[in-house]
Amino acid sequence: MTTPKKPLVDEAEWQAQERGMRAALGEASAGLDSTAASYFTVASAVLSAPVSEPPTDFAASVAAHVAKREPVVERVMSRMLAAAFVVAATATVIIYGDAWWAALEPWRGSDALGWIVAGAGCVLMSWIPRQILDLLGEESSTTASRG
């Protein structure tokens, strides 16, 4: 036969702890029984235990740290993304370039297609570097060139 398990928290004693805590927090402390009174002493000790406080300049120094750090993180991430894009684009052209060129073989003699390909090439050649420069944080130089 198993004996009933003792509950982890004795509810009557828990209530005494709570009365002691409320009294220590400034609520009515009159009429505390001896158990609650000893918990009042315990709760008062918890409240009066030495606690260190943050230095007065803490908030300002954390905010300054964040302000200083944020653009650096963004810049590094952007550069990593730009580098990854360039590597991926180059690898794609190296791997599939021949196949693309071969696929265009039947139309390569046509004048219209030649002009379309040349036009698309010009657009890409002006658009891609601008995107890369933007990503690298060189917005000012591209703005100047647009103006």
Partner 1 sequence: MTQPPPPFHGPIEADQALVAAVLAGKTGAFETLVRNYQGLCWHVVDRMVRHPDDTRELCQEAFLRIHQTLHQYRGESPLKSWIGQVAYSVARRYLERKRIPIAELPADEEGTSLIERVGDGFDLEASVADEEIGAHLHASIEALPPLQRTLLTLYHLEEMPIVEIARVTGLAEGTIKSHLFRSRKLLRDILESRIGVRA
In the complex, which residues of this chain contact partner 1 (CB under 8 A)? Answer: 8-10, 13-14, 17, 21, 24-25, 38-39, 41-55, 58-63, 65-66, 69
Token duo for residue 33:
């029984």
* Alpha carbon 110 to chain centroid, angstroms: 53
Q: Which CB atom, from 71 or from 119, has the smaller least distance to partner 1? A: 71
Token duo for residue 84:
């990854």
* Residues sharing a CB contact under 8 Å with residue 71, sequence separation 6 or more, in sequence order: none
Q: Which CB atom, from 78 or from 133, has the smaller least distance to partner 1? A: 78
Q: What is the nearest approach in angstroms of partner 1 to the Cβ of residue 103?
A: 44
Beta strands in 1-147 (DSSP E): none
Q: What is the nearest approach in angstroms of partner 1 to the Cβ of residue 19?
A: 12
Token duo for residue 51:
């606690």
Q: What is the nearest approach in angstroms of partner 1 to the Cβ of residue 131?
A: 24
Instruction: For residues 92 and 81, give the distance between their C-alpha atoms in angstroms, rounded to a whole number.
Output: 16
Q: Which CB atom, from 50 or from 109, has the smaller least distance to partner 1? A: 50
Q: Which CB atom, from 39 or from 135, has the smaller least distance to partner 1? A: 39
Q: What is the nearest approach in angstroms of partner 1 to the Cβ of residue 34?
A: 10
Longest dimension (CA), the chain: 105
Token duo for residue 46:
């918890």
